[in-house]
Amino acid sequence: MENLEWGLKMTVLGMGLVFALLGLLWALLTVILMLDKEPKAVVSELETNAEAERIAAVADDAVGAQVPEPATVNGMPADLVAAILVATMKHKLILRRQAAPFMRSYWPGSQLFASRWVASGRARQTTNWQPRGK
Amino acid sequence: MENLEWGLKMTVLGMGLVFALLGLLWALLTVILMLDKEPKAVVSELETNAEAERIAAVADDAVGAQVPEPATVNGMPADLVAAILVATMKHKLILRRQAAPFMRSYWPGSQLFASRWVASGRARQTTNWQPRGK
Amino acid sequence: MENLEWGLKMTVLGMGLVFALLGLLWALLTVILMLDKEPKAVVSELETNAEAERIAAVADDAVGAQVPEPATVNGMPADLVAAILVATMKHKLILRRQAAPFMRSYWPGSQLFASRWVASGRARQTTNWQPRGK
Amino acid sequence: MIDQETIGLLMKGVNNVTWQSLVMIGVSFVLFYLAIVKDYEPLLLLPIGAGCMLANLPLSPLMDDTGMLKILYGMGVENELYPLFVFIGIGALTDFGPLLENPKFVLLGAAGQFGIFLTLILALLMGFTQPEAASIGIIGAIDGPTSIYVSGLLAPHMLGPITVAAYSYMSLVPIIMPPVIYALTTKRERLIRMPYSQRKISRRTRIMFPIVVTVMVGTLVPFATPLIGMLMLGNLMKESGAVERLTKASSNEIANTVTLLLGLAIGSTMGGADFLKTSTLFILVLGLLAFCVDCAAGVLFAKFINLITGGNTVNPIIGAAGISAFPMAARVCQRVAQDEDFENFLLMHAMGANAAGQVASVVAGGVLLALMGAGG
Amino acid sequence: MIDQETIGLLMKGVNNVTWQSLVMIGVSFVLFYLAIVKDYEPLLLLPIGAGCMLANLPLSPLMDDTGMLKILYGMGVENELYPLFVFIGIGALTDFGPLLENPKFVLLGAAGQFGIFLTLILALLMGFTQPEAASIGIIGAIDGPTSIYVSGLLAPHMLGPITVAAYSYMSLVPIIMPPVIYALTTKRERLIRMPYSQRKISRRTRIMFPIVVTVMVGTLVPFATPLIGMLMLGNLMKESGAVERLTKASSNEIANTVTLLLGLAIGSTMGGADFLKTSTLFILVLGLLAFCVDCAAGVLFAKFINLITGGNTVNPIIGAAGISAFPMAARVCQRVAQDEDFENFLLMHAMGANAAGQVASVVAGGVLLALMGAGG
Amino acid sequence: MIDQETIGLLMKGVNNVTWQSLVMIGVSFVLFYLAIVKDYEPLLLLPIGAGCMLANLPLSPLMDDTGMLKILYGMGVENELYPLFVFIGIGALTDFGPLLENPKFVLLGAAGQFGIFLTLILALLMGFTQPEAASIGIIGAIDGPTSIYVSGLLAPHMLGPITVAAYSYMSLVPIIMPPVIYALTTKRERLIRMPYSQRKISRRTRIMFPIVVTVMVGTLVPFATPLIGMLMLGNLMKESGAVERLTKASSNEIANTVTLLLGLAIGSTMGGADFLKTSTLFILVLGLLAFCVDCAAGVLFAKFINLITGGNTVNPIIGAAGISAFPMAARVCQRVAQDEDFENFLLMHAMGANAAGQVASVVAGGVLLALMGAGG
Ligand code: NA
Ligand code: NA
Ligand code: NA
């Protein structure tokens, strides 16, 4: 019982501290980001996803980062799904473009859906993308 | 004399043990290979040799594996000999083919005689030939 | 004062030893080079410079070797200066050639003025230029 | 000539085979199977299996006081050098951008550490001592190096099973997470889409992040300084872009060498006498439970946020990503979301939660050590 | 439940923050700034900054007797292994060809060490002890590994500021050298062209060079054997062309790993109590002075040669290259020369002087150690 | 100002030159010559030469108790870590496929170890002690790491000459083997062709091989566990195909680094007093003899097989390949065979015998250690 009490105390203190510390981190990050004054922009989910895949692909090289099983969507290979998806999105885009044509710097979805393996290859090519020095 | 006796004892025991252990290994390997039930096939000596060169080329990268002097055959450079050899074998093949034509998945000698240096280059390209995972 | 005296003694002894040792090295090198009996040849400054850049570029890979700020000459980018320079030298060469034509294995300046970055790339390609073995 | 004594000495090896050593060699075969055939974290489990096999061969000279495995253990496990080096490499390959774009996700990372403490309580109730219970709990960080670091300090005699559990469960992410997510979410919840506001993260912020985190966490929880310091050192080297040679060395040469030595050394702790106890089984079971509780806590916390904010802004699936198995946990979340609606792209959000989970599990490890030092 | 004691223990970190540690964390930020933004020897200054930051966090477990930073210090700074390994890598990438083509330039390298001894005298006058003064003087070798090696033996408590000074000033070569050169030379002198007699250096000579230097210097100044031996070992491996694998490993994998560990370990010596003294400021100022004196001595010695030989055969600019910052010092000399006359190509001559400076600074380090051993 | 005492101290180096140290520096030049000009195992002999030179310079600080060479020796020679790491790398590059296709060739590997024991007897008769004689005999394994491992345990004072002999003779394979083969075979025998039945070796078998060998040899000869365990660990990593990063690290980064350190450390044991004895000459001669006896025994054993089986199924040339110089011994056999009949392809068979020789020499090393432990 004494042990249980100690355990509960640990849990409360521990989770409390973890939340407190990460909450503080949240606050600090928010301040730092405010100083940055970079604008936010809503971007297409497809582009975001491709970017996320790129980041994940770099991290895959870490020791202890499992290279996962080949992705499937409802049992279909992810590549096939991606192809279908791109076709669908393209169709939507065409409809939207016909409805209200206007100039954009790039079309949503223009980067298409790069499969993880493609993204991975690209990421490896561009790993050292940070310009050196200033 | 005592030393000689000890030495002879060491020799008998030592060589006995080495032979016994490697004999046991032979037996174990035979059992393992029987479990495999892979078929044996007689293959051309040239192909076997090229495969052996490939294996040797990989091992050449080991520390302490001497890269040997350039091979010569009866004083002639090995490459020249190889060329002569291939010509000879080709001629034999043609004779054999004319005698009894039949379909084979590949002709003996079709891989030709790759010089060690060629084999080495190829081996380096294909070192990681084992498919990852399953 | 005692410290000053000790310091002066250190300086005299220290610089004396450094000069003595390097002087001895000079003598030894001279002997070694005499044994070599390699001929000296006056070569164009441009060629020498390109060779020096190549050597520097290899050394740049050493830890603690600063990759320097981009070179400028009188405030102009070094590449531009190099281009002007090459044009100038070419012109001189033509004049000289017209004055006294003769065959040479290569024209002075034929290697042109490779910018450090070009030289660096070339050096990295050819780092292991020493033939292995004999 | 071949006297009795000599024969006795020659048979020494065979005579010293024990059933425990045979079983442990069998365990090493299982590890080889998991590593090679099932592809479970082979970089760790294969060397661990080899270390286990070599340590359990009869009279293994590798386990002498001057034996190689003992030396490797002393070189980096006893003094915690290996896991810290591994962390430099992990930091050098982790992009905290997704977290910086959505800093609120740090809280999901915090929630994902709940399994640590619940398991600690259960382990206590099962009769483990307090340091042992804390070490078992840390498996719930689902973070190999943190588990090795913490249990190496608190309960080195349990290092073997804890490490094996931590790395095995990291590999089981794609198998364990989906059922937990399905059990705790409704289809409607899983269909929630999360629009994405991209924010360009300046290089300055990316460089400040590792520094700020190190100073903040290190000051508030000194016990966490080594872990967080090395993770963030790797990240700082990467984001600075000024020391590519060191970044590359940390994530390649150093990481590979250390991983091999670490695996062998950890494997060598798996002696029959220590490993073949019911406690090992409990450790494995409790560790698995810790992992499930982590996922569940994350999902429930995400639902709780929705409840508080009164909207359906957070897809609870990404709550499960608040653990440190980066980036696999995020990918599994994306797959679960896509199984419901293949136009639902949560990956970037899940990566944010996942990066938070990486930081949070290190923080939790430090907090645990602090409480144990404070503790009792 | 949360008693006073627990809270006290949890606040331990915050309570142990001192103003010294805060200042030193600020110093680490300055080092990060120099490394990342100003690109001053980032390979060294970034890890030094990280080591400094991590060592000054309150109660940092990394600084325990079994803490990582202490272990890294013991592994290679205390026993001088790191700087010696770095020297193998430097030797493997240094081509002494330009020096072999013009062996007379070795004397310029010797002249470039004058700053060491002048600074030593000044440091003595300022009240430093003899070993301390010698360690400060060695900054004038403008050679990172030599400075670490010598001061690690003579005055390990000043290792931090001396190393930071040595590497920072190596980075300042392009800024410090030109004004010194301009101040001491006339335009006419700077316009001197030096024709170049190319001499093919045989492979035999290239291989004999490192061996001869090692045996000669090692026999005459045994204290210099480790430094010169490792520099020349790297060069021998390179020139032999027979051990490419080892050459590559020395200048890449080993150099990178050792640089990271060296930087962290050096940084960890920068504790507030040791670093925040006026002596640190003196070290930085005296080191800078040593550098300037080196350049000046080299230029003046070149002019002296012209005076003796009665001709204008040596452009005094290249005298400034007789220090060990190879090949940057040579490049800066070339630039200064080209600023006067853009058809003046001195680089190869300057490289010769620079290679001599590399050898001479190692010799000077050994001589200094010998005199200190002999000394007093 | 420059008093007697100072001059005495400055001349200390020169005064401590002895004729032994001069001779040993000469020996190091011979090693450089063999490594660079004759291309005899330069990866080992060049660092050994450098270690020898640096250790024999007068008053070399590298040989102090805290000197670099002493530290490198303690780091990996004293505790046998270096040769074991080298073995991981060798295992990672050795393909045992040719042996698996013809497992009967293991016996040729066994025969090729006969030189070890014959030399042991001769060394005993020459007055060497039992451990010394065993260490000299092990040169007959023609296997660098095994020789270092065994003699490091039995007679560390003879490590220098034994290692030099082992690696030099490995390089002499193409020179020593052919005359032995010619002397013991008839032309008719050398013309024997050996048809080749290819058998696809499954991946399962390739993975099981290193595991089975480790468990079998390790159980029966515990003294061989470190050697065989590391060789087979490397092979397991390679054949598993699951840990390419570790395989690559073992055969590259780790192997290169360890080779450099190993060479320097071995070279440093070659002090004049230990090396310049008639015993060193005996070691070199006996080692050479051991090698010749190995080849002869292999050839004769192959002829013996033909005698027993009553057919001419085995070309006795390949008997000579039953040593561990893999794959060079096999290549030399092929060349000898082709010199007689250039359509005779024995390479694959010879590779099988050669791979067996690799395993057998490790087993022989373990057996020797076991008998010495049991022994006398
Ligand atoms: Na975690
Ligand atoms: Na210098
Ligand atoms: Na052998």
Q: What are the tens digits of pLDDT across the range F94-121?
A: 999 999 988 888 999 999 999 999 999 9
- C86 burial type by CB count under 10 A (0-12 exposed, 13-18 middle, 19+ buried): middle
- Verify whether the Cβ–Cβ distance F196 to B68 is below 8 Å: no
Interface residues from chain A to E (CB-CB < 8 Å): 9, 12-13, 17, 132-134
Residue B39 lies inside a defined structural domain of this protein = no
pLDDT surpasses 90 at D274 = no
Distance from C-alpha of A111 to C-alpha of E147, rounded to nearest angstrom = 53
The residue ranking higher by pLDDT, D102 or D246, is D246
Who's near B69: CB < 8 A, 6+ residues apart?
F174
The pLDDT averaged over each successive group of 10 residues in chain E (376 residues) is 68 88 95 92 93 95 93 92 94 92 89 93 93 93 91 92 89 89 93 82 93 95 94 96 93 94 94 87 92 93 91 89 87 90 87 93 93 64
Q: What is the mean pLDDT of chain F?
A: 91
pLDDT surpasses 60 at D152 = yes
Q: Which of A130-134, D85-89, F84-88, F328-332 has the lowest mean pLDDT?
A: A130-134
Who's near E220: CB < 8 A, 6+ residues apart?
C21, C24, F13, F14
Residue A79 lies inside a defined structural domain of this protein = yes
Q: Ligand 1 centre and the CA of A9: distance in Å?
A: 21
Q: Write out the residue range of the structural domain in which residue C8 sits.
A: 1-34
b/e map B37-73, b = 16+ CB within 10 Å: eeeeeebbbbbbbbbbbbbbbbbbbbbbbbbbeebeb
- The domain locations on chain E are 18-371
Interface residues from chain C to F (CB-CB < 8 Å): 9, 12-13, 17, 132-134
Q: Among all residues of chain F, which has the CA nearest to that of D49?
A: F233
Check residue C104 and give its pLDDT. 37
Q: Ligand 2 centre and the CA of E102: distance in Å?
A: 19
Which residues in chain C touch residue E82, judged by CB atoms under 8 angstroms apart? Answer: none
- Looking at the CA of D294, name the nearest ligand: 1
Percent helix, strand and coil across chain A, each to the nearest 5? 60, 5, 35
pLDDT surpasses 60 at B109 = no
**Residue from D343, E347, D9, E218 nearest F21 by CA:** E218
Check residue E63 and give its pLDDT. 93
Check residue F376 and give its pLDDT. 37
- Verify whether the Cβ–Cβ distance F246 to D53 is below 8 Å: no
Mean pLDDT of F67-74: 95
Which residues in chain D touch residue E32, judged by CB atoms under 8 angstroms apart? Answer: 207, 211, 236, 240
Q: Please calculate the CA angle F240-F245-F247 and round it to the nearest 5 degrees.
A: 55
- DSSP label at residue F63: G
The CA dihedral of E69, E70, E73, E75, to the nearest 10 degrees, is: -100
Is there a contact between F335 and B71 (Cβ–Cβ < 8 Å)? yes
Check residue C128 and give its pLDDT. 43
Q: Rounded to whole angstroms, what are the CA distances from D132 to D137, D223, D369? A: 9, 18, 12
CB atoms closer than 10 angstroms to residue E189: 19
- Verify whether the Cβ–Cβ distance E39 to A9 is below 8 Å: no
pLDDT surpasses 80 at B43 = no
Residue by residue, DSSP assigns D234-269 as: HHHHHHH-S-HHHHHHIIIIIHHHHHHHHHHHHHHT
Helix (H, G, I), strand (E, B) or coil at D50: helix
**Residue from F79, F43, F325, F44 nearest F226 by CA:** F79
Mean pLDDT of C41-54: 78
Residue B56 lies inside a defined structural domain of this protein = no
Query: The whole model's pTM is what?
Result: 0.87
- Looking at the CA of F365, name the nearest ligand: 3
Question: For chain F, what percent of residues have pLDDT higher than 90?
Answer: 71
Helix (H, G, I), strand (E, B) or coil at E128: coil
pLDDT surpasses 70 at F282 = yes
Q: How many domains are there within chain B?
A: 2
The residue ranking higher by pLDDT, A79 or D77, is D77
The kind and range of the H/E element at E78 are none
Residue C5 lies inside a defined structural domain of this protein = yes
Who's near D202: CB < 8 A, 6+ residues apart?
A36, A38
Mean pLDDT of F361-372: 92
pLDDT surpasses 70 at F360 = yes
Residue A60 lies inside a defined structural domain of this protein = no
Which D positions 168-207 lie with beta carbon below 8 A of chain A? 170-171, 173-174, 193, 195-205
pLDDT surpasses 80 at C114 = no
Is there a contact between E132 and E153 (Cβ–Cβ < 8 Å)? no
| Count of residues making up chain C | 134
Q: B101 falls in which pLDDT band (50, 70, 90)?
A: very low
- Verify whether the Cβ–Cβ distance E2 to A134 is below 8 Å: no
Nearest to B52 among F86, F98, F193 (CB): F98
Question: Does the bond joining D42 to the residue before it have cis omega, within 30 degrees of 0?
Answer: no
Check residue E290 and give its pLDDT. 92
Check residue C111 and give its pLDDT. 39
Check residue E373 and give its pLDDT. 80
Distance from C-alpha of C116 to C-alpha of E315, rounded to nearest angstrom = 23
Distance from C-alpha of E327 to C-alpha of F331, rounded to nearest angstrom = 46
Question: For chain A, what percent of residues have pLDDT higher than 70?
Answer: 46
**Residue from E316, E27, E287, E74 nearest E176 by CA:** E287
Is there a contact between D44 and D38 (Cβ–Cβ < 8 Å)? no
**Residue from B8, B13, D67 nearest F367 by CA:** B13
Check residue A88 and give its pLDDT. 59
Q: Which of D132-141, D327-336, E7-16, E331-340 has the lowest mean pLDDT?
A: E7-16
Helix (H, G, I), strand (E, B) or coil at A100: coil
Distance from C-alpha of D102 to C-alpha of D90, rounded to nearest angstrom = 21
Q: What is the mean pLDDT of chain C?
A: 65
Question: For chain D, what percent of residues have pLDDT higher than 90?
Answer: 71
φ, ψ for residue A42, nearest 5 deg: -75, 125
The residue ranking higher by pLDDT, A133 or E37, is E37
Which residues in chain E touch residue C23, judged by CB atoms under 8 angstroms apart? Answer: 106-107, 110
Residues in the 5 Å CB sphere of ion ligand 3: F 141-143, 323-324, 361
- Verify whether the Cβ–Cβ distance F255 to B11 is below 8 Å: no
CB atoms closer than 10 angstroms to residue F372: 19
pLDDT surpasses 80 at A47 = no
CB atoms closer than 10 angstroms to residue E79: 17
- Verify whether the Cβ–Cβ distance B13 to D2 is below 8 Å: yes
Which residues in chain E touch residue F43, judged by CB atoms under 8 angstroms apart? Answer: 243, 245-246
Check residue D12 and give its pLDDT. 84
pLDDT surpasses 80 at A82 = no
Alpha-carbon gap: D12 to the closest alpha carbon of chain A (Å): 39
CA F252 to chain centre: 19
Neighbours of chain D (3+ CB pairs under 8 A): A, B, E, F
Check residue E276 and give its pLDDT. 87
- Verify whether the Cβ–Cβ distance F374 to D67 is below 8 Å: no
Check residue C105 and give its pLDDT. 35
The CA dihedral of F359, F365, F369, F375, to the nearest 10 degrees, is: 100
Check residue C55 and give its pLDDT. 85
Q: C37 falls in which pLDDT band (50, 70, 90)?
A: confident
Check residue C85 and give its pLDDT. 58
Distance from C-alpha of C81 to C-alpha of F266, rounded to nearest angstrom = 54
Distance from C-alpha of C14 to C-alpha of E200, rounded to nearest angstrom = 34
Residue B107 lies inside a defined structural domain of this protein = yes
- Verify whether the Cβ–Cβ distance F220 to D13 is below 8 Å: yes
What Rg value do the Cα atoms of chain C yield, rounded?
Answer: 22
Structure tokens at F332: 């030399």
Which residues in chain E touch residue D249, judged by CB atoms under 8 angstroms apart? Answer: 253, 256-257, 260
Mean pLDDT of B92-121: 43
Query: Which stretches within E200-271 are classed as H helix?
Result: 203-220, 225-240, 244-249, 255-268
Distance from C-alpha of D231 to C-alpha of D88, rounded to nearest angstrom = 5
Structure tokens at F230: 């590391």
The kind and range of the H/E element at C41 are strand C40-42
- D312 burial type by CB count under 10 A (0-12 exposed, 13-18 middle, 19+ buried): middle
Which residues in chain E touch residue D208, judged by CB atoms under 8 angstroms apart? Answer: none
Check residue F343 and give its pLDDT. 83
- Verify whether the Cβ–Cβ distance A68 to D195 is below 8 Å: no
Alpha-carbon gap: A95 to the closest alpha carbon of chain D (Å): 17
Q: F41 falls in which pLDDT band (50, 70, 90)?
A: confident
pLDDT tens sequence across F257-277: 999 999 999 999 998 888 888
Q: C125 falls in which pLDDT band (50, 70, 90)?
A: very low
Residue C95 lies inside a defined structural domain of this protein = yes
Q: Where would I find the beta strands (DSSP E) of F284-347?
A: none
Nearest to F79 among D17, D39, D66 (CB): D66
What Rg value do the Cα atoms of chain D yield, rounded?
Answer: 22
What ipTM was assigned to the predicted interfaces of this complex?
A: 0.84
Check residue B76 and give its pLDDT. 52
Which D positions 110-129 lie with beta carbon below 8 A of chain A? 110, 113-114, 116-118, 120-121, 124-125
Mean pLDDT of F197-210: 88
Check residue D201 and give its pLDDT. 87
Which residues in chain A touch residue D39, judged by CB atoms under 8 angstroms apart? Answer: 67
Check residue A130 and give its pLDDT. 42
Check residue A101 and give its pLDDT. 39
Distance from C-alpha of F153 to C-alpha of F84, rounded to nearest angstrom = 13
